[in-house]
Every structure is written in C-alpha cells, then in structure tokens.
Amino acid sequence: MTYLKPLPTPTIANGEFWDGIKHHEFLVPRCDDCGDFGWVPYPACRTCQSESLTWTQVSGDAHVYSFSVVHRGPGAFNDEVPYVVVLAKLVEEPRPMVVLANMVAECPPESVSIGMPIKVVYEDIADEDITIYKFAPRDV
C-alpha cells in the first residue's frame, strides 16, 4: 500500500533526531554545560546559550499539554478523521519540552484529555526507509 501523507525530510540540523526515530529512540539535544534538554533542535542551548550539545535519548513518556480533534483533514489525512493532534509535554525536565504529533488512530478522540499520560510510539513506513512517531496512551 502506497503511503500518501507527507514524510519528514531529514536535514543536517535534525538528521540525528530522525536517525534515532528510525531506531525507535526519541533523541533530543542536551546541553553539555548546564544539562538542560532542548526541543526543537537548535544550534545552542536555550538556557545558557552553549553550543556544546549532545543528542540524548529520553524516555518518550509525556502528558497531554493540549490537543485538537481534527474533523476535516488535508489530503490523505482526511481518510482518518476524526483524529487527534497532540501537544505533549515530555516528562524530562527542567526545561519543558512540548512536542507535536498525532495520536494513534486506535485511541478514540473522546478518550483524550489534558494531563493524560502518553508515550511516543513508532511507525515504520514501508517502502520509504523512514519512521515517524506518534503518541499513544501510556499505562500508568
């Protein structure tokens, strides 16, 4: 089956992130000087401005920070309506990291709520040599 939705285009700035996703690891930049995690990929630490960053695996555990139920999706996304787009706050701190992704289709929109515990899950896209991430409910 042909995948009809847009796919990410890895770049120099985010290539390590997408390599991690391909290996089912959620990587974020971590400052070698102050230890804060950062999101989104950026050439310097947002806390101390150090340019010494290391891509570091985090748990992928999060809580729903905000969400929207989509009833009219663009292009191939329309075949899956209604679906939920989630802003999720990763549990790693001290700097909050809020990540955007779709919720898995198996999670009914009416079951999603602010503060709900969720986790990153991975979807390998057949014939495309790329993996994307989504969120799914987390057993607490």
**Using one digit for the tens of pLDDT, what is the confidence trace for 13-56?**
899 999 999 999 999 999 999 999 998 888 899 999 999 999 99
**Does 89 reside within a domain?**
yes
User: Looking at the predicted structure, is the pLDDT value of residue 93 above 80?
Assistant: yes
**Does 3 reside within a domain?**
no
Q: Which of the 8 DSSP states describes residue 108?
A: -
Distance CA 128, CA 122 (A): 14
**Does 70 reside within a domain?**
yes
Q: How many C-beta atoms lie closer than 10 Å to residue 46's C-beta?
A: 14
| Least confident among 13-17, 38-42, 88-92, 121-125 | 38-42
| pLDDT the model gives residue 42 | 87
| pLDDT the model gives residue 11 | 92
Picking from 73, 72, 29, the residue whose alpha carbon sits closest to that of residue 51 is 29
Whether the CA torsion 12, 74, 80, 112 is positive or negative: it is: positive
Picking from 42, 24, 19, 12, the residue whose alpha carbon sits closest to that of residue 134 is 24
**Does 9 reside within a domain?**
no
Q: Give the model's confidence band at 140: pLDDT under 50 very low, under 70 low, under 90 confident, else very high.
A: low
**Does 2 reside within a domain?**
no
Domain that includes residue 56, residue range:
15-137
Distance CA 97, CA 89 (A): 6
Number of domains in the chain: 1
